[in-house]
Amino acid sequence: MKIDRQNKPLLDQYRKLKWLIFFRALFAAVLLGSAMLMGFHESRALFSQPIVFIEYIAIALLALSLLYAFILPHLFQFVRFGYIQIFIDSLFLTGIIFVTGSFSSIFSFLYLIVIIYAGMILSRSGGMFIAFCCSVQYGVLIALEFQGVIYPVGVKIDFLIRNYNWDYVLYKVFMTLVACFGVSFLSGFLAEQERRAKKDLWAMADQVKRVERLAAIGEMASGLAHEIKNPLASLSGSIQFLREDIPYDPDRDRLMDIILREADRLTALVNDFLMFAKPQPGQIKIVELDVAMKEIINVFTADNRRNKRIHVTKQFFEGIFIEIDPEHFRQVIWNLLLNAAEAIESEGQIDIKISPVDKSHACITISDDGCGMSEETMKSIFDPFFTAKPKGTGLGLSIVQRIITSYNGLIDVQSEPEKGTTFTVKFRRVINSGLFSLSRPG
Ligand code: ADP
Ligand code: MG
Segment 368-407, tens digit of pLDDT: 999 999 999 999 999 888 999 988 889 999 999 989 999 9
pLDDT for residue 45 is more than 80: no
Please, how many CA atoms are within 13 Å of residue 319, restricted to the half-sphere of its CB? 6
pLDDT for residue 65 is more than 90: yes
Higher-confidence residue of 161 and 170: namely: 170
pLDDT for residue 358 is more than 50: yes
Gap between the terminal Cα atoms of the chain: 65
Continuous segment of H or E residues that includes residue 263: helix 250-277
Name the band, by pLDDT with cuts 50, 70 and 90, for residue 432: low
Given a contact cutoff of 8 angstroms between Cβ atoms, the answer to whether 134 and 115 are in contact is: yes
231-256 pLDDT per residue, tens: 999 988 998 888 888 888 888 889 88
Which pLDDT belongs to residue 2?
65
Average pLDDT over the chain reads 88
Q: How far is the CA of 225 from the centre of ligand 2 (A)?
A: 19
Best residue for ligand 1 mutational test, from 272, 332, 339 (most atoms within 8 Å of Cβ)? 339
pLDDT for residue 417 is more than 90: yes
Given a contact cutoff of 8 angstroms between Cβ atoms, the answer to whether 292 and 439 are in contact is: yes
User: 343 CB less than 6 Å from ligand 1?
Assistant: yes
Average pLDDT over residues 264-276: 85
Give the closest ligand to the alpha carbon of residue 418: 1
Average pLDDT over residues 309-325: 94
Which pLDDT belongs to residue 9?
84
3 state SS of 224: helix
User: 380 CB less than 6 Å from ligand 1?
Assistant: no
Given a contact cutoff of 8 angstroms between Cβ atoms, the answer to whether 21 and 70 are in contact is: no
Which pLDDT belongs to residue 3?
67
Please, how many CA atoms are within 13 Å of residue 340, restricted to the half-sphere of its CB? 30
Which pLDDT belongs to residue 52?
83
Which pLDDT belongs to residue 437?
45
Please, how many CA atoms are within 13 Å of residue 17, restricted to the half-sphere of its CB? 28
Cα 402 → chain centroid: 21
| Closest to 131 measured CA to CA, from 182, 92, 169, 82 | 182
Listed range (79-93, 182-196, 213-227, 329-343) with the worst mean pLDDT: 213-227
3 state SS of 423: strand
Question: Which residue, by CA, sits nearest to atom 18 of ligand 1?
Answer: 339
Which pLDDT belongs to residue 43?
53
Given a contact cutoff of 8 angstroms between Cβ atoms, the answer to whether 151 and 46 are in contact is: no
What span, in angstroms and rounded, lies between the C-alpha atoms of 357 and 422?
16
pLDDT for residue 113 is more than 90: yes
User: 411 CB less than 6 Å from ligand 1?
Assistant: no
Q: How many CB atoms lie within 10 A of CB 298?
A: 11
For the chain, which residues make up each domain, given as ranges?
8-206, 211-277, 285-439
Which pLDDT belongs to residue 50?
67
H-only helix segments in 100-165 = 110-146
Rounded to 5°, angle at Cα 232 from 231 and 235: 85
Q: Which atom of ligand 1 is nearest to the CA of 394?
A: 8
Average pLDDT over residues 92-107: 89
CATH T-level fold of 285-439 = Heat Shock Protein 90 (3.30.565)
Q: Which residues surround ligand 2, an ion (CB under 5 A)?
A: 339, 396
Average pLDDT over residues 345-372: 95
118-169 pLDDT per residue, tens: 999 988 899 999 999 999 999 999 999 888 888 877 676 777 777 788 888 8
β-strands 285-288, 310-316: how paired? unpaired
What span, in angstroms and rounded, lies between the C-alpha atoms of 308 and 117?
79
pLDDT for residue 434 is more than 50: no
